[in-house]
């Protein structure tokens, strides 16, 4: 699997690999690159079935997506990186840290879950996407991803994310829904050795703070940070607070 990627920043800086949510492409991180580049060289990529990466027939698994990311690291000759994943990308980060712990210097898990239950919701979304594309799913998705206040004050950002959703290949979206339907890392995360930052947001209906707290409770070397006034895509809705958390420039509101 040869993934579409972009790498930018100081060649001498440590690499931070950014892994997207379902139904987004590497452009998800456009507003974050400048701030994160003050410390890291940024590697962002499209999951299989997303953006400009290949779209093999599904179903996929989260473990396969992690193998894809590992293959990209091998392709670029990167032995060890920091890894930040949001939602689906966070699941990929957990799987990668379990599969190849020697490759992960630091792990950042944002608005994600060790188990995205119930599986029926993912099965239903996959069926809709395969039958009718993503248009029937887009508005409900944006409502989950952003607070009402942000949707009202930032119509251009909402329009960009709507375009990303609608540009996602239906089979790629559906096959990643298949992956989330069966993903379950509960009880296994204690094996993650990397220093881990877990970022929760206060108003996230998709992965509420208690799910992030459960992840942090399993990982010994973890810190849990809560970002207020945001929903699921915190890197878009609260880019300053997100970057501050990743860079450790403020304690924000800690729990656990």
Q: What is the residue whose two structure tokens read 């096959």?
A: 175
pLDDT < 70 positions in the chain: 250-256
Distance from C-alpha of 222 to C-alpha of 215, rounded to nearest angstrom: 9
CB atoms within 10 A of CB 76: 14
Tokens of 252: 């924000």
Distance from C-alpha of 57 to C-alpha of 75, rounded to nearest angstrom: 23
What pLDDT sits at residue 253?
41
CB atoms within 10 A of CB 100: 15
The number of domains in the chain is 1
User: Do 49 and 176 contact (CB within 8 A), yes or no?
Assistant: yes
What pLDDT sits at residue 256?
33
Residue 251 belongs to a domain with what CATH number?
A: 3.40.50.1820
What pLDDT sits at residue 250?
54
What pLDDT sits at residue 254?
38
Tens-digit pLDDT profile for residues 52-82: 999 999 999 999 999 999 999 999 999 999 9
What pLDDT sits at residue 249?
75
Query: Which of these, 53, 34, 2, lies nearest to 175 by C-alpha position?
Result: 53
Give the range of the structural domain holding residue 53, as residue numbers without chain letter.
Answer: 5-255
Distance from C-alpha of 59 to C-alpha of 42, rounded to nearest angstrom: 29
């Amino acid at each position: 699997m040869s993934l579409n990627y972009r790498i930018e920043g100081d060649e001498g800086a440590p690499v931070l690999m950014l892994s997207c949510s379902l139904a987004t492409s590497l452009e998800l991180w456009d507003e974050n690159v400048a701030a994160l580049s003050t410390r890291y060289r940024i590697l962002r990529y499209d999951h299989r079935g997303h953006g400009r990466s290949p779209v093999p027939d599904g179903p996929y698994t989260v473990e396969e997506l992690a193998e894809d990311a590992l293959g990209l690291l091998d392709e670029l000759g990167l032995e060890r990186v920091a890894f930040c994943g949001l939602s689906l990308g966070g699941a990929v980060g957990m799987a990668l840290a379990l599969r190849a712990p020697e490759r992960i210097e630091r792990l950042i898990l944002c608005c994600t879950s060790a188990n995205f239950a119930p599986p029926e919701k993912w099965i239903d979304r996959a069926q809709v996407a395969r039958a009718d594309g993503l248009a029937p799913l887009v508005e409900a998705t944006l409502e989950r991803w952003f607070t009402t206040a942000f949707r009202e004050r930032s119509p251009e950002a909402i329009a960009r994310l709507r375009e990303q959703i609608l540009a996602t290949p239906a089979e790629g979206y559906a096959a990643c829904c298949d992956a989330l339907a069966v993903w379950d890392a509960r009880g296994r995360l204690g094996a993650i050795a990397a220093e881990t930052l877990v970022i929760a947001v206060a108003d996230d209906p998709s992965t509420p703070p208690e799910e992030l707290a459960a992840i942090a409770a399993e990982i010994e070397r973890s810190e849990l940070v809560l970002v207020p006034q945001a929903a699921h895509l915190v890197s878009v809705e609260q880019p300053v607070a997100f970057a501050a958390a990743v860079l450790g420039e403020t304690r924000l509101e800690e729990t656990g």
